[in-house]
Structures are given as C-alpha cells and as structure tokens.
Chain A
Amino acid sequence: MKIESPDLILIAEDSPTQREKLRHMLEMHGFRVESSANGKEALAALEGKRPLAVISDIVMPEMNGYELCRRIKGDHETQTIPVILLTSLSDPDDVIMGLECGADYFVTKPYNENFLLSRIQHILANSNQENEQGVRMGLEIFFRGKKYFINSDRLQILNLLLSTYETAIQNNQELANATEEMSVLNGQLEENMAEMDLKNQELFAVNAELEKQQKIVHEARIQAEEANRAKSDFLANMSHELRTPLNSVIGFSEVLVDEMFGQLNAKQHEYVNNILFSGRHLLNLINDILDLAKVEAGKLVLEPSTVKFREVIAGTLTMFQEKALKHNLRFGLELSADCDIELIADERKLKQIMFNLLSNAVKFTPDGGIIRVTAQRTSLSDMRAAGKYLQGERQPEAEDFVEITVEDSGIGIKREDIPKLFREFSQLDSPCNKEYKGTGLGLALTKRLVELHGGQVGVESEIGKRSRFFFAIPLLQEITATGS
C-alpha cells in the first residue's frame, strides 16, 4: 500500500538547473519536492509512495518522459497519480504521444510558473473525484502513417485537450503582449525617427553652414593667392625700377674709381669708393628681394649646368679673403676626397647660397674667430636618420647628396630663435654689427634656393660658441623647371 503524500511532488528532469529551479518554485509554494534525473530514477522513487503529482520532462537519458508516464499509467498501483508532462507541444506528434502514454496535463516549455501552478491547483482541487470513475476509451489512431493506441480515460483526454487549448490561449496572450510591446516599440521607433529627422535637419543645416564656410575659406584663399601674386609682381617690378638707377650709380662710380676720365685725389677716391660699396650693397638687397619674389611667384627656375664643385666652393671663399684679413678670421676648407666631383646644379645659385652662409658667418663671428667649410657625400637615408634637416615643402627625391657645412666660432643662436631663422625679414637681436645690418633675407632665400635644387637646409648652434649651417643638394638632379 502506498503512503499518501498530498503535498509531495516528484520531479523528473535531467537538467540540474531546470530541476533546481522547479524545485525552488514548488517549495516556495509549500510543496515538498523529490527530484530525479530521469524516468528510471523517478520510477524507483515512486516505490511505496503516492505523491500528489509527477512533473516530468520529456527528453531524458535512460528513460524519457513518455515512457515514464506509460509505466506509471500501466501500473494500477500508480495509474491514478496525475502526470504533468513538460513539453513543447509544438508538434501534433507531441500531443498524440502524450495521449498515447496517458499523461494528464501538458505544460509547455519554457513553462510559465503561474500556468504550472494553476495546473497543480487544479489537480489538488480534483484529486478526490476524478480517480475512480475514469472510463477507458481504447482508441486506435493513425497519424502520419503511424498507428497509436490511446488508452486514456475521457478526463485525461479532456485535460489534455484543455491543456493544448490553454497553451494556445497562453501563446495567444503572449502574442498579444508581444504585439503590444511591438506597438510600444513602434511608437518609440516613430518617436526616434522623428527625432532622427530633426537631427538630420540640424545636420543638414550644419552641413550647409559648413559648405558656406568652406566656400568662404576657398574664396579667401584665392584672394590671398591673388594678393600674394600681386605682391610678388609688385616686388619684381619695384626691384626692376630700383635697379635701373642703381646700376647708373654703380656704373658711374666704377668708372670714376677706375679713373677712366682722370685722376682722383685721395679723398675723392675714398668717397667714390663708399658710393660704390653702398650701391653694391643696395643692389644685393634688391636682388635678394627680386629673387625671393620670383621664387614665390614660381618664376625662379634653375639654370643647371655641370659644376666643378671644388672650384665653386673654393671660389666663394676667396671672395671673403679681404674681410677675413681685416677681421683676423681664419678660414678652413675641407672637402672629402669623394667630393672632387662635377655635379649638375645652377652655378650662380650655388654661389649665392655659399655667399649668404659665408657672409653670415663673417658677420656674426667676432674678430679672431674661425670659419670652416666642409663638404662630404651623404644619402637621403643618412640625412633622415641624422634628423637635423628642416622639412621643406617638397620631399627630396634623390638618393645621393653632397652636404656642405659652414661652421663658425661666432656668437651662436638661441635654441628658441632657430625656427625663425629662415623666415623672410627675420633678424635676431645681436650685439654684433660689424659692417651693416642686413635685411634678414639671406637665409630665407638660401633655403628656397637649396629647395629649388631638391635639397634641404639645417642649422645647429651653441649660443656664444658656434653656429653650423649646412645644406645638402642632390648629386645628380633632373633638370626640371619649377613653377607653372
């Protein structure tokens, strides 16, 4: 005889988490729970007991839910214990199989707690009446080519059908809920869309504003470029206008100094010499301005020829011999053996570069100092690695370079002043003002002339000790016209 346990529920479920969840839920509602991991265990657990109900999963190892149910219903000792199958009921086969095995209730998985509890309440409420008067049906059903024999009583069938119905209702309810949620979401979506629209419109406005700004900037740039060109043209013209009378001044002075038209006394000679010196200086300045304007207007082009490197460098040094003597400056020239070369360059501009660097060295080195010119071969990768060159507007394209350094033992340059050096009209405060102040164009032009050659310039200095200006020009350089 079985011991009635009206508050005991037996669970057959192979997933430990599902099992625990179910147990927890049932215990929370005042039931005692005994659980087993498959049908076999559940059968064993039923020995000598009569629980209120068995809740069983379907797919389990060893013995599945249908089989468990079939065994319970096949044993007259246990056949009245209500069996609740946790099934998906998604397939008519599930219903048939359920009927066939004689299950009393179906609860869809994943189950709704309330729904499962309501099943159990239902069992509790009906536990007294339904048992004995069951009328066996004994039905043979063909379904999908298979024969099933259904042995359930009417109540079971009714319950089962109700379960399906309830499941359908539940599904429907869920569907309705989902639809509701959907419509809420839809509403939100629409709101979001409206917001998006607004944002879009804002973006559109911002974009339009941006485009307007861009246009303004573009126009401003064109204007600036035009202004720049006008400035360059103006400078070029001015320079021409200035040079013409200046050439007269120089020409007449030269003729006088040469005493082509008669002797001068010492005073006259000195004065005319002064006129000539100042005239030439002024002419140099004007030429620099003209050259700069031309570089800017893209009008200065290289006139390359084969240049005997050593001769040109040595030649520019001799131009300063007189000054060196006067100021007791020592000159040194060191060209490495591999610099005894001919290279393709614009000789006049190369001389101009050297002239600018040497005149600075002479200008900014106190009497008794040393000025050294060195030259050596180098390569683009070495130049890059050394990292001492200024980045120009154009990247050098050649690989082989010759590097010329003009080093002096002069006043040096403050670190913070170095970036200013190569700008036009930039002159640093210096106490050294031997002959005359320049205009601050020398280095600006030098940089441009070097870059026109496809090279780079750079400077290193120690304030009060030395300055080292260097430039590198490609050994072999294609003859390309710049500008236009």
Chain B
Amino acid sequence: MPHTILVVDDNDQNRVLFHDVLVISGFDVLLAENGEEAVHLAREHHPDLILMDIQMPVMNGLDAGKLLRSDPRTKDIGILALSCATTIDDKDDFFATGFDGYIDKPIDIRMLPNTIIKYLASVNRK
C-alpha cells in the first residue's frame, strides 16, 4: 500500500508541483493550503508524513505543528518543515515544536521522492 504524504503549502503552483511529482513517484498525496486545513486533514486521514511550509496565512506551520503534536491522534505523524530559514534560531524553533526535520528551500524537486523514501525507511526501522 502506498504511503500517504500531506503537503501543506500556500503557494498553488508549489502544491501542483509537489502533487504531480509525488504521485508519479508512487505516493498518495493530500494537499492543504494552510495550517488549519492541515490539522483537519491529518486528524481525518492520518498520513505517513507531513511536508509543512512555515510562512502561511490563517495558521502558520509552527502553530500547526504544535497542535498536531498535542493531539494524540496526530502526535506520532512525522513532520518535515519546508523552510527557507537559514538562521540557527529558526531551526531550533522547528525542533522545539516537535518537527522531525527540515528540508531547505529551494527544494530540489528531483531529489524529493528519494528524501521522503529515506525518511520513511528510517522511521520504520525504529
């Protein structure tokens, strides 16, 4: 059974790109436009991994991450931040919030499927 990936990004084109590339790479893909939608979808579908943009309207990635971690239904889902932050402080924030890692923007879309496969494998081994 294919893994389900929830992609959260406010940029329409990015969502399309992620969707198409991940689908063609064999994943099931859920899309959300902001943190709030992401929390709803995560509770409902319990994806295997969430790719979470940080700067978003309505609810940003960090707040969504906190909600997901505090909810027993979603607290075990892996979350990777999609970040263009380069300062240490911001990255500390990700980990403090309970993110499992981050992928620096600009994301090398060609490498993304591989990155995801590697990540899922490392989680399964545990």
Contact = CB atoms under 8 A, between A and B. Distances in A.
A275 interface: no
B1 interface: no
A233 B108 CA distance: 27
B17 interface: yes
Contact of B13 (A243, A248, A300): A248
B40 to A, nearest CB: 24
A250 B106 contact: yes
Contacts of B20: 255, 261
B11 A248 contact: yes
A213 interface: no
A254 interface: yes
Given A261-B24, A300-B86, A251 B109 contact: yes
Interface residues of A, number: 22
Contacts of A115: none
A76 B57 CA distance: 135
Contact of B109 (A245, A255, A299): A255
A245 B84 contact: no
Contact of A301 (B11, B87, B106): B87
A301 B21 contact: no
Nearest to A287: B106
Interface in A245-304: 245-248, 250-252, 254-255, 258, 260-261, 283, 294, 299-301, 303
B24 A243 contact: no
A300 to B, nearest CB: 7
B88 interface: yes
A243 to B, nearest CB: 7
Interface string B1-38: 00000000001011001001100100000000000000
A299 B87 contact: yes
A261 B86 CA distance: 32
A303 B88 CA distance: 7
B84 A251 contact: no
A356 B84 CA distance: 21
A252 B17 contact: yes
B110 A255 contact: yes
Contacts of A240: 55, 84
A244 interface: yes
B108 to A, nearest CB: 8
Contacts of A252: 13, 17
A245 B106 CA distance: 11
A481 interface: yes
B24 A283 contact: no
A413 to B, nearest CB: 31
B105 interface: yes
A245 B17 contact: no
B107 interface: yes
Interface in B91-111: 105-110
A294 B55 CA distance: 18
A300 B90 CA distance: 12
Contact of B21 (A260, A283, A300, A481): A260
Nearest to A258: B110
A244 B11 contact: yes
Contacts of B109: 251, 254-255
A261 B17 CA distance: 12
A260 B106 contact: no
A294 B17 contact: no
B19 to A, nearest CB: 12
A294 B89 CA distance: 14
Given A240-B55, A243-B84, A481-B88, 11 more contacts: A240-B84, A243-B105, A243-B106, A244-B14, A245-B13, A248-B11, A254-B109, A255-B20, A255-B21, A260-B24, A299-B87
